[in-house]
A and B are shown apart, each in its own frame.
Chain A
Amino acid sequence: MSVSSIPSAQEIVRFAPEIALSLGGTFVMLGEAGLKNGSRARLAVMAFLTLLAAAVLAVFVAADPGTAFSNLLVVDGFSTFFRVLVCAAGMLVVLISTNYLRVEGHDSGEYYALILFSVAGQCLMAASNELIMLFIGLECSSIASYVLAGYLRDDRRNNEAALKYFLLGSFASAFFLYGVAWLWGALGTTNLSEVRRLLLDPSAGVDATMTAAAAALLLVGLAFKVSAAPFQMWAPDVYQGAPAPVAAFLSVGPKAAAFAMFLRILMTAFVPARGQWEPVLWTVALATMVIGNFAALHQTNVKRLLAYSSIAHAGYILVALTAMSDTGAAAAMFYLAAYTFMNIGAFAVVTYVAGRGERHVELMDFSGLSRRSPAMAAVLSIFLLSLTGVPLTAGFFGKFYIFKAALDADLVWLAVLGLLNSAVAAYYYLRIIVMMYMHEPSAGAGALPSPGVGIRWALAASVAGTFVLGVAPSLVLDFATASAPLLR
C-alpha cells in the first residue's frame, strides 16, 4: 500500500461532499452571528442549498470511483447511494423545521449548522472503509444529534431526551471503539478489506476468540445506533422528547448511516464469518421486529408510536442483513430509501398537527383530522399505508425485496415471522387512520393553521417519493443491486 502524506487533488475531490457540508455548516454559524434577526430565514435556505450541493457533488464524484487518503475512504456506488440519501433526508428535515422553529421562537442558525455537521458525519460513515474513520464519522454525526435532541433548551422533555441520548449513545460509541481496539489487537488492522483478507487466509493465524469478542463489541455499538433489540430502549424516550423535526431526522439520517456502516462492516469484513453472525443477527432481527411492533400496539402518543414503529422497521432491515448476500444488501438499501420518504413524511404531518409547544401529539389529537384538514389526513394515510406495506407505495416493494432476499438465503422461518409481524404492524398504523377518518374532531379542536411553505414542499416530495418507489422501483433498485456487490 502506497502511503503518501500529502493527499492528491483527486483524493480531495472524492472528499468534496463532506468538505462542502462542513464549510456550509461553518458559514451558517457565522451567518448566525453576522445577520440581523429578520434575515435568519436565509440561513435555512443556505443550509438547504448546501445539502443539495453536497448531494450533487456526491453524484458528481461518483463518476470517478476509487479510494482516498490511504484507503481510508472509498467512493463507490454504495457510498454514493447513502451520501445522497442522507443529504436528501437532511433537506427534507430542513424543510419541515423552518416553520416549527419560528413558531417555537428558536429560529437560529445553530440548528441548521448542527444538521449540516451531522449529515457530514453521516456521509463520512457511508464512505469510510476503515474502522477509525467510521468512528470519527459516527461521533461527528452523533454529537451533533445529541445537541439537536435537546435543542429547545427551556423544554424539560427536550432536556431529558438529550441527556438520555447522550449518555446511552456515548456508552454505545465506547463499546464500538473498544471493539475496534480489540480487532486491532487480534488482527493488527482496522481496514475492513484487510480484516476480510486475514479472516479468509488460513495461514494468518487469526485468534478466533479475540476476533469474535471484537465482533460482538462492534455489534453492540451498531445495534444501539440502529436501535435494534436489546439496545432499543433509548429510541422511544428520545423520539418522544426531542423536537418533532429532530425526531424525524434521528429516525432516518443517523439510522441510514448506521445501517450503511453496519452493511459495510458486515459485507466487507465479516462475510467469511457468516456462520457465526447469522444466528446472532437472526435473533436480533426477530427480537427487534417483535418488540417494536408489539410495543407500538399500546402507544397513545403518536411520536412514541412512530418511535416503536421505527424500531420495527430496523428489524425488517436486519432481516435483509441476516441474509448477508448481495440481494440482502440491495434490499436494505432500497428499504432505507423508501423508509426515508415515508417516515419523514409521517413525522412532517405530526410536526404540523402538534402545533406550538407540541401540545397535540396524542392519538386523540388526530381524531377527525380528515375534517379539520383533509389534505393532511390523506397524506398521512398514504405514509402510514406505505409503512404498512400496501402495494403501489414504496413500503410494499421495500418489504417485498427484504423477504425475497430472506427466502433466497433460505431464512424461511425468519421470513414467515417477519411477514406476520408486518401484518401485526398494520393494526397500529390503522389506529391512526381510524382516528383521522372514523372519529369526529374532539370538542374545542379548532381549524388548523395553513401549513408553511417548507412543510408543503417536504410533503409533496415525500408523497412523490413514496409513489415513485412504489410504482417504478427499478429506478432505485437497479442502482442498489449494481452497487451492493461493490461491498465485497
Chain B
Amino acid sequence: MSENLLSIVLFTPLAGLLVLLFLPRENTKLIRWWANLTAAAGFLASLPLLLRFDRAADGYQFVEKREWIPSLGVSYFIGIDGISLLLVMLTTAMGLIAIFYSWDVIRTREKEYYAMFLLQQTGMIGVFVSLDFLLFYVFWELVLVPMYFIIGVWGGPRKLYAAIKFFLYTLAGGVLMLLGILTLYFQYAAQYGRYTFEITELMKLNLPLGMQQWVFWAFFLGFAIKVPMFPFHTWLPDAHTEAPTAGSVILAAVLLKMGTYGFIRFSLPLLPRASADQTIVTVLIVLSLIGILYGALVSLMQQDWKKLVAYSSVSHLGFCTLGIFALNEAGIAGSVIQQLNHGISTGMLFLIVGVIYERRHTRMIAEYGGLAHVMPNYAIVFAFAMLSSAGLPLLNGFVGEFTILQGAFQASKWWAALAVPGVVFGAAYLLWLYQRTMLGEVTNEKNKGLPDLSWREWAVFVPLMIWALTIGVYPKPYFEILEKPVAQIVHRVHQTSTAVAQADGTAREAISR
C-alpha cells in the first residue's frame, strides 16, 4: 500500500468519478455527498505524503515506475520532490474546498459538474507528479477538458467566448511544447541509442546552446500561456471572470501553477544553458516585470470586482516567474512559496467575490459600498484575504514576495527596484477595492438586509485563513521542504552554464595563443 501511495493520491478522484457516473442523475444529494467524500478522501490520502516526506533526501520520493508503451519508451513514472509535494497538497486541499463550496451554489447538472471537478483533480495532480515527459503532457492536456466544460456550462454571461478562448490558447501552446518534448526525445535517442521520456534520463543530454534555445522557446510557449505571462495573458481575465466561483478558485489556485511548475521542473533542469542564457533571462525578466506592473495597473482600473482579482493574478504570477528567472535559491524557493500563497490568497478573494455574487448577482464594484455594516463577518474575512494577498507581514503573501525580491536583488538590483512598485500598486488596488465595497455608508438599497456568512462559507474560509497565518508566522518548514530540490536546480543551472563558459574561455584562450 505504501509503495503505491502516490498512485492512490493520483487516482482517488478518478475512482470516485467512475462511481459517480453510475449514481442516478436525479439524486443530487447523493451526488453532492459522494463528490465531497471523494474530495475529502483525496485530501486525506495526500496527508501521508506530507508526514512521510523526507526533507533531507535527495531526488524524488514515493517513486513508482511501470512500463506503459514500451515500444516508445513511455513509462508510468511518478514521484515527487519538495516542490511537487507542496503543489500536490495545494491541489488536494483546494479541490476539497472548491467542491465543498459548490454544495449550495451549483444547482444545475450536478452530476456533470462534480464529474468534471474530479477529473480535473486527477489531471492536475498528474501534472505535478509525472516524471515522464509524455505522461506529464497527457495530464497537461487532459486538464483542459474539464475546465473547458466548467467555464462553458456553469459560467457567467460570456462563458462561451471565455471557454473556447481558454481551450484554444492553451491547446496551441501545448502542441508547440510537444514539439520541444519530441526534440529532446530524438536527441536522447541519437546520443544514447534508446528512446525514453524519463526526465531523469533526459537531464543527461548534452545539447548545443542553439538547440537548447529552440526547445526553450517551444516550452516557453506552452508554459507562458498557462502562467500566463504578458503578453499571453489575455485568456485569463475572460476565463477567470466567467468561470463559476469554484472554477475560478481552482483555475487561479492550481491551474496557473502548472505553468510556473513547468518552468521549474522542465525548462531549468533540462535546458540549463538556455535558461541561464543572457538574452533569454532578460526577455523572461522583462516580461515578468511588465506582467507585475501592467497587471497591477489594470487591476486598479477595473469596474468589475472579479476581473480585478483576475488581473491581480497576472501581477502575482509575474512575481513567481521573476523569482524563477532570478536563478538563485531565494528566488526559486520564494517563487514556489508565492505560488502556494497565491493559491490561498487569490482562492480566498475569488470565494469572497463568489459569496457576494450569490447574494446580489452582480460583480460591479459600483453596486456595492458599506457592506461592512450589513455583513461584518464577511468584511473581516475579506480584510484578512486582502491583507494576505497584499503581502502584510505575518501573513503568507509577505513571505513569498519578500523572498522573491531578495532573490531578484541578489541577481540584479534593478530588477528588484522595478518590481517593488508592483507591491505598492498591489496594496493600492486591494485597499481601494475594500474601501469602495466595504466601507462608508450603505448607498444601495438592495444591499440592506444581505445575510452574513453561512456556516458553510465559514467552513470554507477558516482553514484557508489558518493556512495563510501559519505560513506567514512560521514559514520555516516550507523553506526546509524546498531547500534540497531548489538547491539542486540552481546548482544544475549554474554548474552547467559556468562549466560551458569556462570551456568556451579556455577554447578562446587556446585560439588566441
Pairing of A with B? yes
Contact across chains for A478 and B71 when beta carbons are under 8 A apart: yes
A230 interface contact, C-beta 8 A? no
Can you list 13 A-B pairs with a CB-CB distance of less than 8 A?
A374-B25, A391-B137, A391-B138, A403-B182, A419-B176, A419-B179, A420-B172, A426-B167, A427-B164, A430-B167, A438-B159, A477-B69, A481-B71
Q: A391-B141, A427-B168 are in contact. List 18 more A-B contacts (CB 8 A).
A: A370-B112, A388-B171, A390-B144, A391-B138, A391-B139, A396-B138, A396-B141, A400-B178, A403-B182, A404-B185, A427-B164, A430-B148, A437-B149, A438-B152, A438-B163, A474-B69, A478-B71, A481-B71
Contact across chains for A390 and B145 when beta carbons are under 8 A apart: yes
- Known contacts A390-B141, A430-B167, A437-B153, A473 near B69 by CB under 8 Å: yes
Closest chain A residue, CB of each to CB of B182: A407
Contact across chains for A423 and B138 when beta carbons are under 8 A apart: no
Q: Smallest CB–CB gap between A356 and chain B, Å? A: 28
Q: How far is the CA of A437 from the CA of B149 in the complex (A)?
A: 8
Q: How far is the CA of A118 from the CA of B186 in the complex (A)?
A: 41
Contact across chains for A403 and B152 when beta carbons are under 8 A apart: no
Contact across chains for B179 and A437 when beta carbons are under 8 A apart: no
A364 interface contact, C-beta 8 A? no
Q: How far is the CA of A430 from the CA of B139 in the complex (A)?
A: 19
Contact across chains for A419 and B178 when beta carbons are under 8 A apart: yes
Q: Which of A391, A392, A404, A438 has the most CB of B within 10 A?
A: A391
Contact across chains for B149 and A423 when beta carbons are under 8 A apart: no
Closest chain A residue, CB of each to CB of B152: A438
Contact across chains for A426 and B138 when beta carbons are under 8 A apart: no
A434 interface contact, C-beta 8 A? yes
A385 interface contact, C-beta 8 A? yes
B142 interface contact, C-beta 8 A? yes
B160 interface contact, C-beta 8 A? yes
Q: How far is the CA of A437 from the CA of B112 in the complex (A)?
A: 10
A280 interface contact, C-beta 8 A? no
- Known contacts A391-B138, A474-B71, A434 near B25 by CB under 8 Å: no
Q: How far is the CA of A388 from the CA of B138 in the complex (A)?
A: 14
Q: Which residues of B are found within 8 Å of A474, using beta-carbon distances?
A: 69-71
Residues of chain B in range 142-182 having any CB-CB distance to chain A below 8 Å? 142, 144-145, 148-149, 152-153, 159-160, 163-164, 167-168, 171-172, 175-176, 178-179, 182
Contact across chains for A392 and B142 when beta carbons are under 8 A apart: yes
Q: Which residues of B are found within 8 Å of A430, using beta-carbon distances?
A: 148, 164, 167-168
Q: Smallest CB–CB gap between A395 and chain B, Å? A: 11
The 5 closest A-B pairs by CB, nearest first: A391-B138, A419-B175, A423-B172, A391-B141, A438-B152
Q: Smallest CB–CB gap between A133 and chain B, Å? A: 32
Contact across chains for B70 and A426 when beta carbons are under 8 A apart: no
Q: Which residues of A are found within 8 Å of B25, using beta-carbon distances?
A: 374
Q: Smallest CB–CB gap between B386 and chain A, Å? A: 34
Residues of chain B in range 177-193 having any CB-CB distance to chain A below 8 Å? 178-179, 182-183, 185-186
Contact across chains for A403 and B178 when beta carbons are under 8 A apart: yes
Contact across chains for B178 and A385 when beta carbons are under 8 A apart: no
Q: How far is the CA of A396 from the CA of B167 in the complex (A)?
A: 16
Q: Which residues of B are found within 8 Å of A422, using beta-carbon distances?
A: 175
Contact across chains for A423 and B179 when beta carbons are under 8 A apart: no
Q: How far is the CA of A404 from the CA of B182 in the complex (A)?
A: 7
Q: Which residues of A are found within 8 Å of B145, using beta-carbon distances?
A: 385, 390
A415 interface contact, C-beta 8 A? yes
Q: Smallest CB–CB gap between B287 and chain A, Å? A: 22
Contact across chains for B179 and A416 when beta carbons are under 8 A apart: yes
Q: Smallest CB–CB gap between A371 and chain B, Å? A: 9
Q: Which residues of A are found within 8 Å of B109, using beta-carbon distances?
A: 370
Residues of chain B in range 428-487 having any CB-CB distance to chain A below 8 Å? none
A155 interface contact, C-beta 8 A? no
Q: Which residues of A are found within 8 Å of B164, using beta-carbon distances?
A: 427, 430, 434
Q: How far is the CA of A119 from the CA of B392 in the complex (A)?
A: 73
Contact across chains for B152 and A426 when beta carbons are under 8 A apart: no
A408 interface contact, C-beta 8 A? yes
Q: Smallest CB–CB gap between B242 and chain A, Å? A: 11
Closest chain A residue, CB of each to CB of B154: A438
Contact across chains for B172 and A408 when beta carbons are under 8 A apart: no
- Known contacts A407-B183, A416-B179, A423 near B159 by CB under 8 Å: no
Closest chain B residue, CB of each to CB of A473: B69
Q: Which residues of B are found within 8 Å of A437, using beta-carbon distances?
A: 112, 149, 152-153
Q: Smallest CB–CB gap between A412 and chain B, Å? A: 8
Q: Smallest CB–CB gap between B408 and chain A, Å? A: 34
Residues of chain B in range 62-111 having any CB-CB distance to chain A below 8 Å? 69-72, 109
Q: Smallest CB–CB gap between A317 and chain B, Å? A: 18
Q: Which residues of A are found within 8 Å of B72, using beta-carbon distances?
A: 477
Q: Which residues of A are found within 8 Å of B152, using beta-carbon distances?
A: 433-434, 437-438
Residues of chain B in range 118-148 having any CB-CB distance to chain A below 8 Å? 137-139, 141-142, 144-145, 148
Q: Which residues of B are found within 8 Å of A407, using beta-carbon distances?
A: 179, 182-183, 186
Contact across chains for B153 and A438 when beta carbons are under 8 A apart: yes
Q: Which residues of A are found within 8 Å of B70, using beta-carbon distances?
A: 474
Q: How far is the CA of A391 from the CA of B139 in the complex (A)?
A: 8
A426: which of B71, B137, B142, B171 is its contact (CB, 8 Å)?
B171
Q: Smallest CB–CB gap between B14 and chain A, Å? A: 11
Contact across chains for A391 and B142 when beta carbons are under 8 A apart: yes
Closest chain A residue, CB of each to CB of B164: A430
Mask of A471-487 contacts with B, CB within 8 angstroms, 1/0: 00110011001000000
A434: which of B160, B175, B176 is its contact (CB, 8 Å)?
B160
Q: Which residues of B are found within 8 Å of A426, using beta-carbon distances?
A: 167-168, 171
Q: How far is the CA of A400 from the CA of B181 in the complex (A)?
A: 11
Q: Which residues of B are found within 8 Å of A419, using beta-carbon distances?
A: 175-176, 178-179
Q: Smallest CB–CB gap between B50 and chain A, Å? A: 29
Q: Which residues of A are found within 8 Å of B69, using beta-carbon distances?
A: 473-474, 477
Q: Which residues of A are found within 8 Å of B71, using beta-carbon distances?
A: 474, 477-478, 481
Q: Which residues of B are found within 8 Å of A477, using beta-carbon distances?
A: 69, 71-72
Q: How far is the CA of A481 from the CA of B69 in the complex (A)?
A: 13
Q: How far is the CA of A27 from the CA of B145 in the complex (A)?
A: 48
B160: which of A374, A400, A415, A438 is its contact (CB, 8 Å)?
A438
Q: How far is the CA of A226 from the CA of B138 in the complex (A)?
A: 30
Q: How far is the CA of A392 from the CA of B139 in the complex (A)?
A: 9
Q: Which residues of A are found within 8 Å of B178, using beta-carbon distances?
A: 400, 403, 419
Q: Which residues of A are found within 8 Å of B148, using beta-carbon distances?
A: 430
Mask of B1-42 contacts with A, CB within 8 angstroms, 1/0: 000000000000000000000000100000000000000000
Q: How far is the CA of A400 from the CA of B69 in the complex (A)?
A: 13
Q: Smallest CB–CB gap between B123 and chain A, Å? A: 9
Q: Which residues of A are found within 8 Å of B137, using beta-carbon distances?
A: 391
Q: How far is the CA of A445 from the CA of B186 in the complex (A)?
A: 53
- Known contacts A391-B138, A403-B178, A477-B69, A423 near B168 by CB under 8 Å: yes
Q: Smallest CB–CB gap between A379 and chain B, Å? A: 13
Q: Smallest CB–CB gap between A482 and chain B, Å? A: 9
Q: Which residues of B are found within 8 Å of A396, using beta-carbon distances?
A: 138, 141
Q: Which residues of A are found within 8 Å of B175, using beta-carbon distances?
A: 419-420, 422-423
Q: Which residues of B are found within 8 Å of A420, using beta-carbon distances?
A: 172, 175-176
Q: How far is the CA of A207 from the CA of B149 in the complex (A)?
A: 59
Q: How far is the CA of A316 from the CA of B145 in the complex (A)?
A: 22
Q: Which residues of B are found within 8 Å of A433, using beta-carbon distances?
A: 152
Closest chain B residue, CB of each to CB of A474: B69
Q: Smallest CB–CB gap between A388 and chain B, Å? A: 8
Q: Which residues of B are found within 8 Å of A391, using beta-carbon distances?
A: 137-139, 141-142
Residues of chain A in range 3-42 having any CB-CB distance to chain B below 8 Å? none
Q: Smallest CB–CB gap between B459 and chain A, Å? A: 31
Q: Smallest CB–CB gap between A149 and chain B, Å? A: 34
Mask of A418-447 contacts with B, CB within 8 angstroms, 1/0: 011011001100100110011000000000
Residues of chain A in range 232-262 having any CB-CB distance to chain B below 8 Å? none
Q: Which residues of A are found within 8 Å of B160, using beta-carbon distances?
A: 434, 438
Closest chain A residue, CB of each to CB of B137: A391
Mask of A374-407 contacts with B, CB within 8 angstroms, 1/0: 1000000000010010111000100010011001
Closest chain B residue, CB of each to CB of A404: B182
